[in-house]
Amino acid sequence: MRSKVRVLYRPPKFQTKNMQTDPEQQNTENQETESGFKELGLFVWDLVKVLIIAMAIILPIRYAVAQPFIVSGSSMEPTFYSGEYLIINEWTYHFDNPQRGDVVVFKYPKDTSQYFIKRIIALPGERVKIEEDNVIIYNKEHPNGWVLDESYIPSSDTTLPVGDGMTTLGSNEYYVLGDNRLASSDSRFWGPVPKNDIIGKVFVRAFPFSDLKKFETIEYGVK
């Protein structure tokens, strides 16, 4: 009867293959491993630096220079329609005051968690009166008042007064109206907007792409 032997344990090939008896070769591999970790660490650090720099540049632009908003509602038709994507310039008002004719985004004075979009009609210290479908501005230059020429309002639209139609603005207040006067909740109903609540003015309509447009302040021809 032939004797049989059975291998009870055989080291895996990768174990025997990787075993080194030469100390110099072992040191070389250790150095290569350390070098690989070092290169990986440098790559990760470079990536972190790029992200930090990007955030330092993008976040201030996002929150202090320009901000996107989507129009909801019909109060600014036909200038802006619901669903349009607007870029708001927040930087300008850090250096200059809002101007008559600017279309601005602001916090709704009755609920500052909401944002409205309207057009500035009257400036701080002025008196505005809505009478016989006209918007009349009283200021130092025009103590007897002058009728605002609003060519952006459709001829079929009507500007109806609320109450006596008269409002006098404080030193830091702006009177705003929607371009679609029959469908707009604006200063006629809830009063003027404090400057601190104004976020910025409409800079660009970015969407739909077919209606891409940059917007400038309207020149009324008089102060």
185 lies in some domain:
yes
List alpha helices for 61-170, DSSP H.
Answer: none
Report the CATH number at residue 196.
2.10.109.10
pTM > 0.75 = no
Q: Do 59 and 107 fall within a single domain?
A: no
Domain count along the chain: 2
Q: Do 58 and 152 fall within a single domain?
A: no
Q: Do 59 and 135 fall within a single domain?
A: no
Pairing mode of beta strands 127-131, 166-168: antiparallel
List alpha helices for 61-138, DSSP H.
Answer: none
Q: Is 35 a catalytic residue?
A: no
Q: Confidence band (pLDDT; 50, 70, 90) for 92?
A: confident
Q: Do 117 and 198 fall within a single domain?
A: yes
Q: Which of 72, 107, 118, 210 is catalytic?
A: 118
Residue 127 β-bridge partners = 138, 168
pLDDT, tens digit, 9 for 90 and up, residues 98-133: 999 999 999 999 999 999 999 999 999 999 999 988
Q: Do 46 and 79 fall within a single domain?
A: no
pLDDT, tens digit, 9 for 90 and up, residues 53-62: 545 444 444 5
Q: Do 95 and 50 fall within a single domain?
A: no
The least confident of 47-61, 100-114, 129-143, 159-173 is 47-61
Q: Confidence band (pLDDT; 50, 70, 90) for 66?
A: low
Distance CA 82, CA 72 (A): 5
Q: Confidence band (pLDDT; 50, 70, 90) for 65?
A: low
How high is the mean pLDDT of the chain? 79
CB atoms within 10 A of CB 104: 23
153 is in which domain, residue-wise? 71-214
12 lies in some domain:
no
Q: Do 96 and 166 fall within a single domain?
A: yes
Residues 6+ apart with CB under 8 A from 64: 90, 91, 94
Contact of 139 with 129, CB cutoff 8 Å: no
pLDDT higher for 10 or 117? Answer: 117
Q: Do 153 and 209 fall within a single domain?
A: yes
Q: Which of 3, 35, 49, 75 is catalytic?
A: 75
Q: Is 118 a catalytic residue?
A: yes
What end-to-end distance do the CA atoms of the chain give, in Å?
A: 121
- 4-8, 28-32, 40-44, 116-120 — most confident range: 116-120
Question: For the CA atoms of the chain, what is the radius of gyration?
Answer: 34
Contact of 88 with 201, CB cutoff 8 Å: yes
pLDDT, tens digit, 9 for 90 and up, residues 191-204: 999 999 999 999 88
Contact of 73 with 179, CB cutoff 8 Å: no
Residues 6+ apart with CB under 8 A from 204: 86, 87, 212, 213, 214, 215
